Structure formats: structure tokens, C-alpha cells
């Protein structure tokens, strides 16, 4: 039975499945903390929401890339991925706090693409910092 779990194809499938499952859970959490409904806004053509959500997806995937690269066990990958996501979520709240002149969520919901772009770049950029830190 050990040889089954040590098979490279099985390892890749397990890592992929866990990363996708975590991505779905983490995006659902982001959906809860934003004031707009991501997928409804994207369906309606809101490019700012699409950019912000795309940045979150890239950020989460990038954190898991680092977690996979630096940790051998599935449990370690999940643990570091969750930790990285929490840091990314904290960064989201810090970004909201550091812009007192306007509300990030409201601007993104109004399709303010400049705010959506900055939100995307922050998520992507910080994912590299977080990822490098989790090894």
C-alpha cells in the first residue's frame, strides 16, 4: 500500500486535488469578507472584480506552489498553504485600512479598474513574499 502513495502520478493528483479544494474554500472565504458577490459581478462584466479575484486566485495558487516546492508531505503543504492564505487575508484587511479616503470594496464593486488592478498586483506581489517566507 505504501508504494501506491509513493507513486509520482498519485502524489501529483493528491497535491492537485488538495490545492484545488483549498482554492475553492479560500475563495469562498474571500467571498464572505468582500461586500460584493464576486461571481455575480464577474458575470455582469465587472472587470475590476475580475482583476481583484484573478489576483487572489493567482496569489493562492502561488502560495501553494511554494508550499509544494519546499515541503514533501501533503499535510505540511496544507498547513503552510493555510498559513499563507491567512497572511494574504490579513494583507487584504491592511490594504482596506490603509486607504481611508475611499472604500476598496465599494470602488471595486463600482468597476473602478484602477483599484481592481492595484488589488490584483498586491495579491500577486505579496504571494511571492509569503511564498518565499514559508520554506
Rg (CA), the chain: 16
Residue 1 in this model has a pLDDT that exceeds 70: no
Residue 6 in this model has a pLDDT that exceeds 90: no
**pLDDT tens per residue across span 18-64:** 999 999 999 999 999 998 999 999 999 999 999 999 999 999 999 99
Q: Which three three-digit cell numbers place residue 134?
A: 514559508
**pLDDT tens per residue across span 102-113:** 899 999 999 999
pLDDT band for 99, please (50, 70, 90 cuts).
confident
Question: Residue-wise over 47-71: b if at least 16 C-beta within 10 A, else e?
Answer: ebbbbbbbbbbebbebbbebbbeeb
Q: Are 121 and 114 in contact (CB under 8 A)?
A: no
Amino acid at each position: 500500500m505504501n508504494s501506491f502513495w509513493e507513486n509520482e502520478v498519485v502524489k501529483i493528483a493528491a497535491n492537485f486535488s488538495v490545492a484545488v479544494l483549498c482554492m475553492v474554500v479560500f475563495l469562498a472565504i474571500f467571498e464572505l469578507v468582500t461586500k460584493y458577490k464576486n461571481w455575480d459581478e464577474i458575470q455582469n462584466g465587472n472587470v475590476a472584480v475580475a482583476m481583484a479575484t484573478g489576483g487572489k486566485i493567482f496569489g493562492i495558487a502561488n502560495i501553494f506552489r511554494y508550499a509544494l516546492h519546499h515541503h514533501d508531505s501533503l499535510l505540511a503543504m496544507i498547513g503552510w498553504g493555510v498559513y499563507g492564505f491567512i497572511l494574504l487575508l490579513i494583507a487584504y484587511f491592511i490594504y482596506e485600512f490603509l486607504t481611508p479616503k475611499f472604500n476598496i470594496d465599494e470602488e471595486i464593486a463600482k468597476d473602478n479598474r484602477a483599484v481592481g488592478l492595484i488589488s490584483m498586483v498586491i495579491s500577486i506581489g505579496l504571494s511571492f513574499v509569503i511564498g518565499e517566507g514559508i520554506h
